[in-house]
Amino acid sequence: MSARLGWLDALRGFAALVVVFDHSSHTFMPDSRAELMPQFNTSRYGIMVFFLVSGYIVPASLERRGCVRTFWIGRVFRVYPLWAVVVTGLLAVDALGLAELRDVGSQSAVTVAVAHLTMLQELLETPSLLLVLWTLSYEMCFYLLVVALFTVRLHHRSGAVAAVLAVLAVVSAVAGALLPVSALSGLVGTGPLIAFASITMAAALCCASSASPVLRVFGGVLGGALALVLVPFNGTVPVWEGLVILAVMFLGTAVRRAERRQSTWHRAAGTATLVIACAVGSAYRYGDGHHFTRRGWIVAFLLAVLTFAAGLAWRRRRVPGLLTGLGTISYSVYLVHPVLLAVIDGTVGRRSDDHAGLEVAFFAFLLPLCIVTHRYVEVPGQACGRRLARSRQAQVSKSTVSSSDTGNDWHVRT
């Protein structure tokens, strides 16, 4: 990432540390966590900052490349290598009796594996093997929607999309029980839904990455439709929150467009005001849920937006190397820490009272380990993805020249 976007790295690094504190406090500081959570939901704070950052940068990555296939190559090699290593590690410590996997009910190993490979498991009524993986399901839906808008040339309407999703969140909060969680799984069954979603996603990615303009549009729309069906009708978080998550990511995109002068700051501010009002209104209408209190969620959400705004205001200033370094390893921090906590919980066990020293020691062990996983897992994976993307881009360029010679230039860059 260029120096001028170092503020995004800083935000990611800070958000990752907050999420780690939220989860590790279960083990090392239960008393403090019990007092803090009703007032300030640290987990929701951290992931909302993550979602705003993703919304800001991910669509820009697609538009910079101008090619859906190279975009997906980049995403796959950015996300999956570390994901595969971490899941494999979790399975290993479970086999050694050092930790326990989450209960997946009566689902077979095959259906659990397929659901996780799509990264949509949290929207397919399949509990994530690692709790933190649930956010990647919403990230994947965002990718599908971004590609859909790109293929139909509506990707500049980010603010309008964010506004529509935010309004739908309020409607769903008011509707309440009319939209129960995991409704589709209850209707057709989890196994058939996993099979359908997996086939649909594979078809969408293949078609959206094809040379045919018609197939590209079909694939993009198919993937977007899959996301728009799963989030409101089969999410495990309340429907309104799933829609707010998508609205927040598109808000990040709207801010990016204003910053790049593809839109106006007045429009971005109007979108932000609407999204914030709808999110707060939805949470207030929903009330206290199983995973959070109304007050804790609202405070976390508002502080996440303010944190992103502060980072945006700081974007033209120099960001300390320590903060950008934390951002560089933030994905490792996010995925690796639950495995360590699972081993600690499965061997030593959780403390019954606060011990700040152990909390600090956990961070002191985690961060160097994440430097290693970033260096030897993430970096090689991303380098491989870049090589494949460059190879694909070279093939496209040759095809473009060849097609232009025959008057049939199919490759359209936006």
Tens digit of pLDDT for each residue in 29-86? 999 998 999 999 999 999 999 999 999 999 999 998 889 999 999 999 999 999 999 9
Q: What tokens were used for 326? A: 């934390």
Half-sphere exposure of 270 (CA within 13 A, CB side): 11
In the predicted structure, residue 413 carries a pLDDT above the cut 80: no
Report the distance separating Cα 98 and Cα 347, nearest Å.
6
Task: Check residue 412 and give its pLDDT.
Answer: 35
Q: To the nearest whole number, what is the mean pLDDT of the chain?
A: 90
Task: Check residue 3 and give its pLDDT.
Answer: 52
Task: Check residue 405 and give its pLDDT.
Answer: 45
pTM for this structure?
0.92
DSSP 99-121: S-PPP-TT--HHHHHHHHHHT-G
Q: What tokens were used for 345? A: 């919980």
Report the distance separating Cα 214 and Cα 219, nearest Å.
9
Q: For residue 280, count other CB atoms closer than 10 A to its CB.
A: 17
Contact (CB, 8 A) for 15 and 47: yes
Report the distance separating Cα 182 and Cα 230, nearest Å.
9
Report the distance separating Cα 68 and Cα 72, nearest Å.
6
Q: Which range is least confidently modeled, 252-261, 273-282, 363-372, 389-398?
A: 389-398
Task: Check residue 148 and give its pLDDT.
Answer: 97
SS3 content of the chain, % helix, strand, coil (to 5): 80, 0, 20
Q: Which range is least confidently modeled, 75-79, 341-345, 401-405?
A: 401-405
Task: Check residue 178 and give its pLDDT.
Answer: 61
Three-state DSSP at 375 gives helix
Tens digit of pLDDT for each residue in 92-108? 999 999 988 887 777 88
In the predicted structure, residue 239 carries a pLDDT above the cut 50: yes
In the predicted structure, residue 330 carries a pLDDT above the cut 90: yes
Which letter does DSSP use for residue 329 in this model? T
